[in-house]
Amino acid sequence: MSRHMMRMLLTVAIASCTQAATGEQKIAHFHLTGAMTETPQDNPFAGLSEASMSLHELLDRLADARKDDEVQAVALTFDSAAMGLGQIEELRAELRKFHAVNKRVFVHVDGLQMGSYALMSGASDLSVVPLADVWLTGLYSEGIYVKDLLEKIGVEAQILHCGDYKSAGELFTRTGPSEAAAKNMNWLLDGLYEGCVNMIAESRGLTAAQVQKLIDEGPYTAESAKKAGLVDQVQYRDEFLAEIKKVYGGMTIDSDYGDDDGMALDLGSNPFALFSKLTEMFSPVAAPAEPSIGIVYVEGNIVPGHGQPSPFGGASGAFSGDIAKALEDAADDASIKAVVLRVDSPGGSATASDIIWRATQRVKARKPLIVSMGNVAGSGGYYVACGADEILADETTITGSIGVVGGKMITTEMWTKLGVNWVGYARGKNADLMTSARAWPEDQQSRIQDWMNDVYGEFKERVTEGRQSKLTKPLDEMAGGRVFSGKQALELGLVDRIGGLSDAIELAAKKASISTYEVRVLPKPKNLVEAVMAELTGQGERPTDLHLRERVAMEFGGGRSAWEALLPMLERVEPQRARLLMQALKRIELLSRESVLVMMPMDFLVR
């Protein structure tokens, strides 16, 4: 390790020193900011920022606070945390559990939108700053279509699909949705909206009709929100903290509650604590001795092969080789009694999805396998899930999309504009099947469609095998690319019950007949030395929280380009739309590598 790296580690460690916990009565404080991840990272610096916390870690820490007799209440502050509706639903459910143990949950925010209000309304006491915007106006969704953009650069997309509702290629071939795609999106949005309305209604003691009326009368100022019964207090943060201390007699507010893996050191009583912590950081993670529930994550686009982790974050994407190996290890490990597959993915490569599915079946043959669906588990995300013993989804999970899309980009005009000419040579009638020089003639297009129909048939066969008599309709009436909310999927038998990650872990333990267990994430994270050495030798991946401009350069070959100049400007003006454009561009890359995809029908945002 370089001297610079060692100095950095020592500086961060010393700067992070705090006194050890005293064991006194306390208020546990959590601050939510940044993006909420799914896959936990073995990062010793994670404790320095809540932004790096995973959903599972936060749920665990909240559950610990709920069960801890020293914790009298919870204070939650919120700062533009980016969460999907599924994550919001699971966090809200955990907050609601504090009512059962007579512990209050105090929440203070600078502003609220529909999703964040659905989460925070589950608190005992919800307060906002005096000039807060309570943007309770409903759900708005936008899809992206880049046909005109491709035409401007001389690219034409030729897309085929299996299923009338499998509209994943429409963003390349149309300027707006087909009738089937629009119908699909409206059906999905109905389910998501109903889920948010129900969460708010339950939290605030209202009927669904009353909540819908409040939504239609929004947005609200802080005072009008209080008058409407949407919030409990209007106050500044110092007043919020002072009120909690007044209620609980000046009790300590612990902002690092449950952060056992951070850099908290007690140098006062142990001057060698720093060196002990560094030794611990550089040591391999020991395998637990007691029975365990294994968690394997499928997060992001499903792609073939293996990713390269970094000390700053995990590889971007759900790599079939890594996930299959983790599932095989879980099947072979006698201490792991059951496995939870956590899926938060819009799908991707059909081949990679099938590799993961096969690995799930090998686990299922030896021990219980439970799937927990997060924000999205559609198309390939549903493919990898459908063979589990039981599938749990949130009401607002986006799932289904059983169908196949494929095609290619025709780039001849683009190269002509650049003054570049290509000359091809082929041996074999279909050697040029995937050339970007021309569209498919009728016979080749028919050949590709037949191939995709076979893949689609395999997909439906996997679902039929896995779900069997649980389906409430013939599969063809639910397939074809149709997308559903978790609640809708439950009614159709595509999932077994509504519940979050914690519920899935408890169910896995019950099926394994164990009451005491540890939870282990697979694959086992590299320790710091392994990750840093991979980074120093060029084998690690870039950080996952790069600025959009840097992500574009990394994803599309690097160097100064028109995209590199344009996208940072778009991100400043319209950050959500800019990220959606980035997703669309990544689909082009994935399509060029895989040709046949099991992907969600469109890239869209909900706000």
* Inside any domain, residue 492: yes
Average pLDDT over residues 388-415: 91
Q: Is residue 225 located within the same domain as residue 331?
A: no
> Per-residue pLDDT for 50 more than 60?
no
Q: 17 or 390: which carries more pLDDT confidence?
A: 390
575 has pLDDT over 50: yes
Same domain, 340 and 235: no
Is it the case that residue 426 has pLDDT exceeding 60? yes
Q: What is the average per-residue pLDDT within 274-282?
A: 51
What percent of the chain has a predicted confidence (pLDDT) above 90?
39
Are both 367 and 505 inside the same structural domain? yes
The total domain count for the chain is 2
Return the pLDDT at 324. 92
Let me know whether 298 and 242 are in one domain.
no
- Give the domain range for residue 121: 21-137+218-254
In a shared domain, residues 229 and 368: no
> Is residue 340 domain-shared with residue 427, that is, in the same domain?
yes
Average pLDDT score, the chain: 80
Average pLDDT over residues 51-72: 87
In a domain? residue 361: yes
Greater pLDDT, 96 or 141: 96
**Maximum mean pLDDT: which of 87-96, 138-147, 311-320:** 87-96
Same domain assignment for residues 227 and 338: no
8 A C-beta contact, residue 552 and residue 570 = no
Residue 4 lies in a domain: no
Helix H or strand E segment including 311: none
CATH code of residue 580: 3.90.226.10
Task: Detail the DSSP E strand segments found in 36-183.
Answer: 71-82, 104-113, 125-135, 141-143, 156-162
| 3 state SS for 126-158 | EEEEEEEEEECCCCCEEECCCHHHHHHCCCEEE
Q: Say yes or no: 457 and 602 in one domain.
A: yes
Q: What is the pTM of this model?
A: 0.76
Judge whether 71 and 28 are in contact, CB under 8 Å: yes
Do the Cβ atoms of 76 and 27 come closer than 8 Å?
A: no
DSSP 46: G
Flag whether 277 is in a domain.
no
Same domain for 355 and 242, yes or no, is no
Kindly indicate the confidence band of residue 165, based on its pLDDT and cuts at 50, 70 and 90: confident
Residues 249 and 297 in one domain: no
Q: In the prediction, which pLDDT does 256 show?
A: 81
Q: Would the pLDDT of 133 be above 60?
A: yes
Closest C-alpha to 605, from 62, 256, 143? 143
- Model confidence at 83: pLDDT above 70: yes
What does the pLDDT look like over 177-218, one tens digit per residue? 889 888 888 888 898 999 999 999 999 999 999 999 999 998
Which range among 170-179, 194-203, 438-447, 551-560 shows the weakest confidence by mean pLDDT? 551-560
Is residue 386 in a domain? yes
Amino acid identity at 406: G
The answer, yes or no, to whether residue 395 has pLDDT greater than 90, is yes
pLDDT surpasses 90 at 258: no
Mean pLDDT in residue range 19-46 = 71
Question: Do 85 and 396 form a contact (C-beta atoms < 8 A)?
Answer: yes
Residue pair 389/364 in contact by the 8 Å Cβ criterion: yes
How far apart are the C-alpha atoms of 398 and 86, rounded to whole Å? Answer: 8
Residues forming a β-bridge with 361: none
Instruction: Return the closest-CA partner of residue 405 out of 582, 602, 174.
Output: 602
User: Is pLDDT of 45 > 50?
Assistant: no
